[in-house]
Amino acid sequence: MKNKKKNRTGIWFFGLSGSGKTFASKFISRYKKNCLIIDGDVVRKYVSFDLKYSKKDREKQIRRVFGMSIIAIKSKLFPIISTVYLNAKIAKVAKYNGIEVIKIERDMKKIFKTKKIYRNKKNVVSFDIQYPKIKSNKIFNTGNKSFYSVLRELI
């Protein structure tokens, strides 16, 4: 893991809405020098406002986010990226460029039961847009101290 940290140029968190991606990004940014958080929701608001939530538009979104991460790396910054969706092609190119890809998982059944907003919606990741098979590290957000300790190992 030490060598991997040394060669790492960024981190890309992906996972369902509410899994803890933004929290993880902010947590790591407090301890990592010269970092830039590239949050998919913020990019969608200010850059990708022309896109909807179809699989095709999500593909465009992650290409844009990846482009921003390369700009950050070339500017000697450490990108900490978070998106709901990720495909195998972008994950592979990200890894090739030294960006560690990490899926954050959580017991979403409890969260989705309380979030009735996902019922009767289209283009929701994991409901009608499935993740492709992506080779990535996985961490499980339990919402307790063990999640913090896993995040500390990434610093």
Could you read off the pLDDT of 8-64 as tens digits, one per residue? 999 999 988 878 899 999 999 999 999 999 999 999 999 999 999 888 999 999 999
- Nearest CA to 14 out of 147, 114, 125 is that of 125
> What is the mean predicted confidence (pLDDT) over 75-90?
95
CB 145: neighbour CB atoms within 10 A?
8
User: Based on the structure, what is the number of domains in the chain?
Assistant: 1
- Check residue 155 and give its pLDDT: 85
- Check residue 12 and give its pLDDT: 97
Q: Are 105 and 140 in contact (CB under 8 A)?
A: yes
Residue 14 — left, alpha, or beta (φ > 0 → left; ψ -120 to 50 → alpha)?
beta
Residue 155 located in a structural domain? no
Which CATH number goes with the domain that contains 99? 3.40.50.300
Confidence of residue 123 (pLDDT cuts 50, 70, 90): low
* pLDDT above 60: residue 150: yes
Residue 123 located in a structural domain? yes
**Rounded to an integer, what is the distance from CA 28 to the centroid of its chain?**
13
Residue 50 located in a structural domain? yes
> pTM here?
0.83
Residue 151 located in a structural domain? no
Least confident range of 39-48, 116-125, 140-149? 116-125
Mean pLDDT, the chain, integer: 84
Residue 98 located in a structural domain? yes
- Check residue 1 and give its pLDDT: 39
* pLDDT above 70: residue 119: no
Domain that holds residue 17: 2-145
Confidence of residue 3 (pLDDT cuts 50, 70, 90): very low
Strand, coil or helix: 37: strand
Q: Are 55 and 122 in contact (CB under 8 A)?
A: no
Residue 120 located in a structural domain? yes
Tokens of 144: 């307790």
